[in-house]
Amino acid sequence: MTGGEPGGAPSLRLVLSPSLRFAAAILIIHLTAAGCCLAVVEGWAGLALALLLTALGGAAARDRALLRGARAARAIEILGSGEARLVLADGAAIALEPVRGMGVTRCWVALRCGAPGRRGILVTAGMLGAAPFRRLRLWALWGKAAGVAGRQLPA
């Protein structure tokens, strides 16, 4: 937890860490797609398509799972008001909102970004510790950061 907003509830900063499992999953999916292209498309076109899919998988794994790059995600800040933002490596902050439905499971949390160039982010369980991941899941489900009540009841 961090200081928070003046006169409001404290904010929560969740620092993301790279996930080798998520990177491996991205690469396996792209390599499988590349293999399918090689099986279906003949000649140089199939080989070129397979190489492009493999390169795309490497780039996606580097940015989304290994968190490397100038615009890679670094942290998620959940304000006391319930709003959230994604902090990027270059210091920019983008508004976040949870994806409803299958967007929240015990293995991942899907978040939609407010920036046109970045449509969303998938935060897997390996990118945060158990307690911070649970807090992120609760925020995604309820839209509020867990904390102490604003005013205590009289004794």
Mean pLDDT across the chain, nearest whole number? 87
Q: Where are the domains of the chain?
A: 12-142
pTM equals: 0.80
Neighbours of 32 (CB within 10 A): 12
pLDDT beyond 70 at 148: no
The residue whose two tokens read 């398509």 is: 49
Judged by DSSP in three states, 152 sits in: coil
For 15-39, write each residue's pLDDT tens digit: 999 999 999 999 999 999 999 999 9
pLDDT recorded at residue 39: 95
**Sheet containing strand 73-78, strands side by side:** 12-15, 73-78, 84-88, 93-98, 108-113, 120-124
Residues 6+ apart with CB under 8 A from 4: 10, 11, 79, 80
77 is written with which tokens?
């800040």
Taking CA atoms, 46 is separated from 31, 39, 101, 155, in Å, by 13, 8, 37, 74
